[in-house]
Structure 1
Amino acid sequence: MIKNYLKIAWRNLIGNKSYSAINIGGLAMGMTIAMLIGLWIYDELSFNKYHTHYKHIARIMQQQTLDGQLNTGDNVPAPLFESLQTDFGKDFDRVVITSWLQQYTLTYKTSSFTRPGNFMSFGAAEMLSLQLLSGSALGLKDPATVLLSESVAKAIFRNADPVDKMIKINDDLDVKVVGVYKDIPYNSEFHELGFIAPFDLYTASTDWVKEAVKNRDWESSSFQIFVQLSKNRDSDMLSTKIRDLKLRKVDEAGRKFKPQIILVPMSRWHLYSEWLNGQNTTGRIDYVWLFGTIGIFVLLLACINFMNLSTARSQKRAREVGIRKAIGSVRMQLVSQFFSESFLVVFPAFLISLVLTWLLLPTFNEIAEKKMSFPWLSPVFWGWGLLFTLLTGFIAGSYPAFYLSSFQPIKALKGRWVSSGLRAALPRKVLLVIQFTVSITLIIGTVVVYKQILHAKDRATGYNRQGLVTMLVTNEGVHTHFDAVLDDLLKMGTVTSMAESAAPLTEVFSANVGFNWKAKDPGLQSEFATIGISHDFGKTVGWDFVAGRDFNKAFATDSAGFVINKAAAQFMGLGKKDLNDAIGETVTWDGRSFKIIGVIEDMVMESPYEPVRKSIFFIHPKGGRFITVRLNPSTRTSQALGQLETVFKKHSPDSPFNYKFVDQDYAAKFASEEKISSLAAVFTGLAIFISCLGLFGMASFMAEQRTKEVGIRKVLGASVISIWRLLCADFVVLIILSCLLATPAAWLIMDRWLEKYSYHTQVSWWIFALTSIGTLAIALTTVSFQAIKAALLNPVKSLRSE
């Protein structure tokens, strides 16, 4: 019987090639999108699962009350490491304190490379379940050692064995390579970890770290701590247990911030990374739900095409059903027959989608910034693929199967089946409206996301990014000879100015408390971003002063001066009527007095979607590790970069020359939203294409059904335009109805999405108008092809059978 079902299904398939092509093509495209999204979701949900102890690893985080809000951060004090080890040793298998991932210069003989790495206490390699390719992580017990990732080892040593060879970190730390570990996969929090050096080495070589550890400084929160929970330990229970650890150690001033120590499991790091007033709210999980929903809807659109075209051809199948029922077929046999036709369409579509997914995956990876591979050898994938195909076949074939099998044999053989006329067309119209409602909603959503990105990009940043180049300096060479370097560059006409800073222009590395001023509320606990700079920093970046002046080397008192941004001045309540009144005001920082000498426009240094942090700039005695130069606009950029490298190599010959354009660094802040926008645009375009594919098939069928009507109208004098209008009218009404339904739905969804950004655009009316007009134009173009083709048909041929 199954063989008979498949034989009939095959005949119907090849007997209606155009409809079969539309069905298979539409389903293949829908399944491809669903498969790509499925791989993306799997990659997101499996983030960090590379680590064997995934379920037991947690990050120690700190919550403090600042400016009336409960702030959550992953920076913690150094003494917490020892307290967790000694007081809670039974609760944790491992406790690891680390520095922050940074770029370091690794030098071997005469070759230097800049790679990201970290200083971690012993046990980090075991906690992260690093796969050692050579050597042993036990070697890290010696402070003067290092573990290298496979790619870093290959870059430095090529094919030679790196174990037991000596390298330098930042030209001043001699370490021995004790092992090489396999590169951590891209979908891990630690995928950039190029090397691990002992935290004891970091302590011994860095004065401020040594002081923090030696003096048990609970106030300075400048480190990260990761823990591996013992078996049968619950993170929530342990969070409660360690919550007041810092509170019990700090003085009365520190207790005003109400510090709390909490544990955050690794399972929440990636998908739930956002915090609001102490609550772990959301994060990437929003995009998982978003793209999962899009994938389901796009696949549904393809299934609707199959349903519509199958039921539209019911007139041709009605007599077949009537004859089958008359000779004894029961309804379930007919249902099985129609499902076999559905599966015969779905399986080739699935095979095509596999090929398309494989071909599109590299491009998809590039857009989504992923490194996914096609799981050809995964039994789990093929199991899900089979289930996915069966489910798609069932959804696509369910309505046609139960609808066509419901015809009564007598009425069907007489040509008067159960549903006819408007009643028969209504389900198809509803499905078509659903298709375009979903597609229009996706278009509006994509436009709003893109508009939000443009809105943030147009935001005034408070400085001129054009022509600015930032370089990370990992040794003292350039800093020591700063004036000589600047003099060489000015003589060559390479730059117009140069400055140092403790952080790049697009980041804030340090925030501090302990500030007091005349009008401060004694009960207010506040935090300011603090950026250490050299004297010419403001001149180099192009500060926009609203009051006061810049730092000046001619004034020795400027070493005890502050330049603050407008956000800081307004928060302090200084210069309420005129910001010039803030100039000369005294601000104390940990007991030391500073005078405000200038107020600048707010600089966007962090997220362009959030309010600018209140910031204080001060003269750093060592300038900082970052050098920013403004290139001379009269010198070609390529020439200027070459001259920069020559001068920097002259004063620091062993250091690699690495640079970043500030405008490109700033543009990277939009990467996440731009990726989402690009993916949404691709999926939306394909959704519209699938919908139009179904619309084309429906228009083709309608034109075929009304061939004789068109012929009669032409004989009676109807023009091509009037016939075109007649055939398009129904579709136009359905598209307009789809626009009316999609508009409020899209507005509600996107308005809620925009609320998560403090700095956001508005959902403008023109988006809905433009989307509606565009969709109507696309739909009319799709329908018009068949409508005009029918209108131009010779009426003699149309009426020949009469």
Structure 2
Amino acid sequence: MFKNYIKIAWRNLIKNKAYSTINIGGLALGMAVTLIIGLWMQDELSHNSYFTSKDKIAQVFQSQTFNGETGTGPAIPRPLEKALREGYGDNFKHLIMATWTNDRYLKYKETSISRSGNYMQEAAPELFNLEIIKGEKDGLREINSIMLSESTAKTLFGSEEPIGKVVVVNSQYNLMVSSVYKDIPFNNTFNDTEFIIPWEQYLTANEWARNAEDNWGNNSYQMFVQIADNANMEQVNAKIKDVKKTLNEDSAEFNPQLVLFPMKDWHLRSDFENGKQVGGRIKYVWLFGIIGVFILLLACINFMNLSTARSEKRGKEVGIRKSIGSQRGQLIYQFLSESFLVVMFAYVLAIVLVLLSINGFNDLARKEIAFPWSFPAFWAISLLFILITALMAGSYPALYLSSFKPVDVLKGTFKVGKYAGLPRKILVVLQFTVSVAFIIGTVIVMQQINYAKNRPVGYDKQGLIQVPVMSQDFIGKFELMRSEFIGSGAVSQMSASSAPTTAVWSNYNGYTWEGKPEGFQEDFAWANVSPEFASSLNLKIMAGRDFSREFATDSNAVLINETAVKYMGLANPVGKYLKDSNEEDPNEPLKIIGVVKDMIVQSPYEPVKQAVYAYDKDDNASYYNMRLNPNRSAGENLKVIERVFKEHFPNIPFQYDFVDQEYGKKFAAEERIGTLSGIFTALAILISCLGLFGLTSFVAEQRTKEIGVRKVLGASVFNVWNMLSKDFLKLVLVSCFIAVPIAYFVMNGWLQEYPYRVILKWWIFVLAIAGAMLVTVLTVSFQAIKAARANPVKSLRTE
């Protein structure tokens, strides 16, 4: 019996090629989008799946309250390690201290490369379940050792055996390769950790870190833990919550609270607000999941509409089959088998579309998703997906067509009824409601991105590059290099700074000033800079003056930004002093000599933070900031800069970043979401238009004789076009009026997450309505005009 159902279904598909093409094409598009979104969601949800103990691993965060606002982050002080080991050691299987992931220069013989990595304690390889390819599993046991990722070892040593070889790090110390571990896969934390060096080596090389063993105020480190096998994450969290506040009375005013932030939440639920976890990327997973469901629904609606629209053509078939004994259940199975066949063809085509587009999607979404050919679970889910889609698309047509009465159909007295087209109209309205809402949402997302992009950054980022200076070789050579680079003609101005132009690396407190309110808890973004910092960035001085090498007293001077002036409540800040509130060992007061324009250093969607720029007395910068000669091409300037760089640092790779490109990365996540939303919106509109095109074709075919009579009686092409188009335009207009308030409510809620946000304008909604109407007109007009221009003689010849 099933074989016969499939035969009949196949004959119907072959007989109605245009109808079948629209149905299969629309479903294939919808299923392809749903498949890609499903693969993307699976990749997001499986983040950190490389780490087998991820449910037991956590990073120690701390929350601190400044002036009523609680901030939560991963920076912790060194004494916390001792406190947790001695007081709560039974609750942890592993506890490791670590630095931040930073670039270092690695050199072997004549090969010198820059790679990112960490200093970690000995238990790190076991905690993170690193797969050791060569060497020792406990590769951090010896202080002068280094563990390398497989790709880093291959770059450094080629075909040579790496174990036992000596690598020079930052021209500072020699380390022996103890282990090579398999590269951590892309969709995992630490995938950019290409080397690991023992924590003890870090303490040996950095006196300030070594001396911070009892300094609770220096939050410069990270801590990762694996809780004991018999322990519960929430219970351990409750135990250690107030450790810092209990052991360090000086920090009590900031109400520090420790938080065990579990690895399973690192990627998708990393946002904190006032000390509480409030979500993160998980909202995008839900967003795209909903989009995928809606797009598949649009494709299924096309199938339903076209199937029910052709009901009269299938009526006689139903009547004959019922008259010779077919039961309604058999007819339902028949129509569902047709639906299943269409969905099967569509799914095969969808897989082809996914394979053709997955590389482009990976580039766009910054992913490394591979099609899961070898996963049985994927094919099991695919079969379920096909069955559900077939039921969604075919259930209503099957129930509707199988309900026809054979006597009425065969007598020719069957009429579809006054309200028979109502379900189709509702489905068309639903299709375009979704499409118009997508249009509005995409426009608002792109507007928000452009709004932030067009926000004044406070300095001139064009023609500005930053060069990292990580090696000991750079210490004490800034003046020489500045003279060399400017003298080469490739650089018009150059400065040094302790942080990149596009990030805050240090936050300071513990300062007082004239008029500081009692109990005010200050928090400044802090950077040490050379005197040329403002001039190299074209950073405008709003009050006072810039640093000058002519004034020896400027070594104890600072510049502050406009936000800091308001934050400190100073009417005339120039000449005022920042004084160290540490009574036991106070530093010299810092004189405010100038106010600079606010620079956007952190998120362009957030308010600018109060910042202090201090004179760098120690020539211990992390970056050189170079203003390229505007009279030469960037490529020519960079060649000269690299040549000069290599003359002085032949063993160090020349690296640089254009500041405007680094600033542009701040928009990357939102731009990806906007671009993907735009693509999905276009596909949703295309799928809706395919259905509309098919319905218009059917209506034109159904009313062929009516059109012929109207033409004979003098109707113009416009009259016929208007007759066929107006009903569809009314439906789309209804869709627009439903979509507008829904889109406004959803997008207005989304915008509330951004302190700096675009104001929703009425023209966005008018533009979306006009766009939907235009697309409808273009879609309907092709068939309408074709029908209007047909020769009426042909349609009336049989009468």
TM range (shorter): over 0.9
**Cα distance change on mapping 1:789 and 1:520 into 2, 3 Å:** same
1:8-47 matched pairs, under 5 angstroms: 8-47=8-47
- Tell me the CA shift for residue 652 of structure 1: 1.5
Distance 2:254 2:615 in 1: 28
Q: CA deviation at 1:419?
A: 3.8
Q: Which amino acid aligns with 1:438?
A: V
Distance 2:774 2:544 in 1: 57
Find the partner of 1:717 among 714, 718, 721. Answer: 714
Q: 1:438 — aligned with what?
A: 434
Q: Which residue of 2 aligns with 1:119?
A: 119
SS of 2:89's equivalent? coil
1:195 pairs with 2:195: yes
Following TM superposition, by how much is the alpha carbon of 1:405 offset from its aligned partner in structure 2, in angstroms? 1.1
Residue 418 of structure 1 and its aligned partner are, at CA, apart by 6.7
Q: Does 1:529 align with 2:525?
A: yes
How do 1:168-317 and structure 2 match up within 5 A? 168-213=168-213, 216-251=214-249, 253-317=250-314
Aligned CA distance change for structure 1 residues 418 and 233 (closer, same or farther; 3 Å): farther
1:788 equivalent in alignment to 2:785: yes
Contact 2:712 2:792 in 1 (8 A): yes
> Any conservation in 2 of the 1:60–1:74 contact (CA below 8 Å)?
yes
Aligned partner of residue 240 in structure 1, secondary structure:
helix
1:117 Cα shift?
A: 0.6
Matches of residues 409-428 of structure 1 in structure 2 within 5 Å? 409-417=406-414, 419-421=416-418, 423-428=419-424
Question: 2 CA distance for matches of 1:694 and 1:653?
Answer: 65
Are residue 466 (structure 1) and residue 462 (structure 2) matched?
yes
Alignment partners' CA distance in 1, 2:96 and 2:352: 45
CA distance 1:183–1:416, change in 2 (3 Å) = farther
Instruction: Report how far residue 139 of structure 1 moved.
Output: 3.0
Alpha-carbon shift at residue 573 of structure 1 (Å): 0.5
| Residue of structure 2 equivalent to 1:588 | 579
Counterparts of 1:530 and 1:331, CA distance in 2: 78
**In 2, distance between residues paired with 1:343 and 1:448?**
39
CA-to-aligned-CA distance 1:497-521 (integer Å, 9 cap, x gap): 1111110000000112212122222
**For the residues of structure 2 that align with 1:513 and 1:261, how far apart are their CA atoms?**
20
Q: Is 1:513 aligned to residue 502 of structure 2?
A: no
How far apart are the structure 2 equivalents of 1:379 and 1:79? 50
Q: Which moved more, 1:615-624 or 1:457-466?
A: 615-624
- Give the RMSD, CA atoms, in angstroms: 1.1
Greater mean alpha carbon deviation, residues 107-116 or residues 551-560: 551-560
1:76-129 residue CA offsets vs partner (Å, 9 max, x unmatched): 011111222222221111001100000100010121100001000011111111
Tell me if the contact between 2:720 and 2:784 (Cα under 8 Å) persists in the aligned partners: yes
**Contact 1:481/1:651 (8 A) holds in 2:** no
SS of match in other structure, 2:138: helix
Which amino acid in structure 2 is aligned with residue 230 of structure 1?
A
Q: Does 1:371 align with 2:368?
A: yes
**Deviation, structure 1 residue 417:** 4.1
Q: Check whether the contact 2:140–2:198 (CA below 8 A) recurs between aligned residues.
A: yes
User: For the residues of structure 2 that align with 1:53 and 1:518, how far apart are their CA atoms?
Assistant: 53
Partner of 1:407 in structure 2? 404
Of 748, 768, 773, the residue aligned with 1:771 is: 768
Alignment partner of 2:231: what SS?
coil
AA in 1 matched with 2:529: I
Match of 1:800 in 2: 797
The equivalent of 1:688 in structure 2 is 685
SS at match of 1:389: helix
Residue 408 of structure 1 contacts residue 418 of structure 1 at CA under 8 Å; is this kept in 2? no
Deviations along 1:154-182, one digit per CA (max 9) or x if unpaired, are 11111222111000110112100011111
3-state SS of 1:628 partner: strand
Contact 1:477 1:651 in 2 (8 A): no
Paired letter, 2:737: L
Deviations 1:623-677 (A, max 9, x none): 4111101011012211110111111112211110000000000001000001001
Would you say 1:477 and 2:468 are equivalent positions? no
1:578 — aligned with what?
none
Check conservation: 2:606, 2:756, Cα contact below 8 A: yes
What displacement does 1:754 show? 0.6
Determine if contact 2:98/2:120 at 8 Å carries over to the other structure: yes
Displacement of 1:490: 2.1
Kindly provide the CA deviation profile for residues 212-239 of structure 1, in whole angstroms up to 9, marking residues without a partner as x: 12xx111111100000011132211111
Select the residue among 740, 747, 754 that pairs with 1:750. Answer: 747
1:703-754 Cα distance to aligned partner (Å, 9 max, x none)? 0001000000000011111111111111111111111111111111111111
Alignment check: 8 A CA contact 2:28 2:350 kept = yes
Pick closer, same or farther for the CA change 1:416–1:529 going to 2, 3 Å. Answer: farther
- 2-side partners of 1:477 and 1:643: how far apart? 20
One-letter amino acid of the counterpart of residue 151, structure 1: S
Whether the aligned pair in 1 keeps the contact of 2:700 and 2:724 (CA below 8 Å) is yes
Secondary structure, aligned partner of 1:666: helix
Paired residue secondary structure (1:595): strand
Taking the aligned partners of 1:278 and 1:706, their CA distance within structure 2 comes to: 66
Q: Distance in 1 between matches of 2:511 and 2:329?
A: 79
C-alpha deviation, 1:491, in angstroms: 2.2
Q: How far is 1:566 from its partner?
A: 1.1
In the alignment, what sits opposite 1:554? 550
Q: In the alignment, residue 220 of structure 2 is paired with which amino acid?
A: S
User: Which stretch of the first structure deviates more once superposed, 529-538 or 405-414?
Assistant: 405-414
- Matching residue within 338, 355, 359 for 2:356: 359
**How far is 1:328 from its partner?**
1.9
> How far did 1:329 drift?
1.7
Q: What SS class does the counterpart of residue 97 from structure 1 fall into?
A: strand
| AA of the residue aligned to 1:76 | I
Q: Secondary structure at the match of 1:612?
A: coil
How many residue pairs were aligned? Answer: 793
Between the aligned partners of 1:390 and 1:552, the Cα distance in structure 2 is: 75
In the alignment, the residues of structure 1 paired with residue 247 and residue 666 of structure 2 have an alpha-carbon distance, to the nearest angstrom, of 38
TM-score calculated relative to the size of structure 1:
0.98
In the aligned structure 1, how far is the partner of 2:379 from the partner of 2:247? 56
Change in CA separation of 1:684 and 1:300 when aligned onto 2, cut-off 3 Å: same
Counterpart Cα distance in 2 of 1:331 and 1:763: 53
SS in 2 for 1:246: helix
Conserved in 2, the CA contact under 8 Å of 1:467 and 1:631?
Answer: yes
**Deviation beyond 6 Å, 4+ runs, structure 1:** none
8 A Cα contact 2:125 2:138, kept in partner: no
Whether the 8 Å contact between 1:144 and 1:198 is mirrored in structure 2 is: yes
Distance 2:533 2:199 in 1: 33
In 2: Cα distance, 1:87 partner to 1:494 partner:
58
Q: Name the stretch that deviates more: 41-50 or 77-86.
A: 77-86
**2: CA distance between counterparts of 1:254 and 1:715?**
92
CA drift of 1:620 comes to 2.1
Secondary structure, aligned partner of 2:279: coil
User: Which stretch shifts more, 545-554 or 664-673?
Assistant: 545-554
Return the TM-score normalized by structure 2. Answer: 0.98
